[in-house]
Amino acid sequence: MNFLEKKERRIFMKEMKKVFVIIGFIGLWIFLCHHMDLVIAKDPDYPTKPINYYIAFGVGGTTDLTSRAFGDATSKYIGQPFVHINRPGAGGTLTAMAVLSGKPDGYSLGICSPSNVFIAPFSDESPYKDLSGFTFIANFGNYVYPLMVRTDAPWKTWKEFIEWVRKNPRAAKIAITGARSVASQGFVLWQVEQREQVEFTYVPMKSSAEILSATLGGHVTMYGSTVDPSTVPYLQEGKLRILSYLGAHKTPGYENVPSLPELYGPEVAVPNLLGVFGPKGLPDYVLKKLDDAFAKAVKDPDFVSVMNRMYTPIVYMDRAQMNKYIEELLPKVGKVINVIKAEEAKGKK
Partner 1 sequence: MDVFQNLISGFSLILQPDNLFFCFIGVFIGTLIGVLPGIGPVGAMSLLLPATYKVSPLASVIMLAGIYYGAQYGGSTTSILVNIPGESSTVVTCLDGYQMARQGRAGPALGIAAFGSFIAGTLALIGLMLVAPPLASIALRFGPPEYFSLMCLGLTILIYLASGSIIRAISMAAFGVMIGCIGQDPETGSSRFVFGIPDLLDGIGLAPFVMGLFGISEVFINIEQSLKGSKILETKIKGLLPNWQDWKDSIKPILRGSVLGFFLGILPGGGAVISSFASYAIEKKASKHPEKFGKGAIEGVAGPEAANNAASEGAFVPLLTLGIPPNVVMALLLGALMIHGVTPGPLLIPKHPEIFWGVIASMYLGNIMLLVLNLPLIGIWVQVLKVPYKVLFPLILLFCLIGAYSINNSTFDVAIMMVFGVVGYLIRKYKYEGAPMVLAFVLGPMLENSLRQSLLLSDGSFLIFFTRPISAGGMIVTFLMLISCIIPAFRKKREEIPMEETT
Partner 2 sequence: MRTHHRVGSIFWLVIGIYVGISAYRLGIGVFSQPGPGFIFFLMALLLIILSAIDLGITFIGKSKVGKEKTDEPLWLGVRWYKVLIVLVGISIYNYAFNFLGFLLSTFLLMIFLFKAVEPTKWWVSVFASVITILLSFGIFKLWLKVPFPTGILGF
Q: Name the residues that contact partner 2, by CB under 8 A.
A: 1-2, 4, 8, 11-12, 15, 18-19, 22-23, 26, 29-30, 33-34, 50, 52, 83, 85, 348
- The option from partner 1, partner 2, none interacting with 133 (CB < 5 to 8 A, set by class) reads none
- Residue 21, interface with partner 1 (CB under 8 A)? no
Closer CB to partner 1, residue 7 or residue 42?
Answer: 7
Which stretch, 145-153, 204-212, 241-249, 293-301, contacts partner 1 (CB under 8 A)? 204-212
In this structure, are residues 333 and 181 in contact, taking their beta carbons and an 8 Å threshold? no
For residue 276, list its beta bridge partners: 111, 138
CA 114, 58, 101, 125 dihedral sign is positive
Q: Whole-angstrom Cα distance, residue 306 to residue 186? A: 29
- The option from partner 1, partner 2, none interacting with 45 (CB < 5 to 8 A, set by class) reads none
Per-residue CA distances from 145 to 184, 212, 265 (Å) = 10, 13, 16
Q: Among residues 159, 168, 188, which one has the least CA distance to residue 267?
A: 188
Interface mask toward partner 1 for 242-281; x: CB under 8 A: ----------------------------------------
- Residue 84, interface with partner 1 (CB under 8 A)? yes
Closer CB to partner 1, residue 64 or residue 121?
Answer: 64
In this structure, are residues 88 and 57 in contact, taking their beta carbons and an 8 Å threshold? yes
Closer CB to partner 2, residue 80 or residue 323?
Answer: 80
CA 187, 188, 194, 198 dihedral sign is negative
- The option from partner 1, partner 2, none interacting with 335 (CB < 5 to 8 A, set by class) reads none
Q: How far is the CB of 7 from partner 2 (least distance, A)?
A: 11
Other Cβ atoms less than 10 A from the Cβ of 346: the count is 8
Q: How far is the CB of 247 from partner 2 (least distance, A)?
A: 30
Sheet (strand 201-205) strand order? 201-205, 173-177, 222-224, 146-150, 240-245
Q: Are strands 222-224 and 146-150 parallel, antiparallel or unpaired?
A: antiparallel
- Residue 210, interface with partner 1 (CB under 8 A)? yes
Q: Whole-angstrom Cα distance, residue 281 to residue 218? A: 51
Which stretch, 105-113, 123-131, 254-262, 328-336, contacts partner 1 (CB under 8 A)? 123-131
Binding site for partner 1 (CB under 8 A): 58-62, 64-65, 68, 72, 84-90, 93-94, 97, 123-125, 127, 170, 173, 178-182, 201-207, 209-210, 212-214, 216-220, 229-230, 232-234, 236-237, 239, 302, 306, 309-310
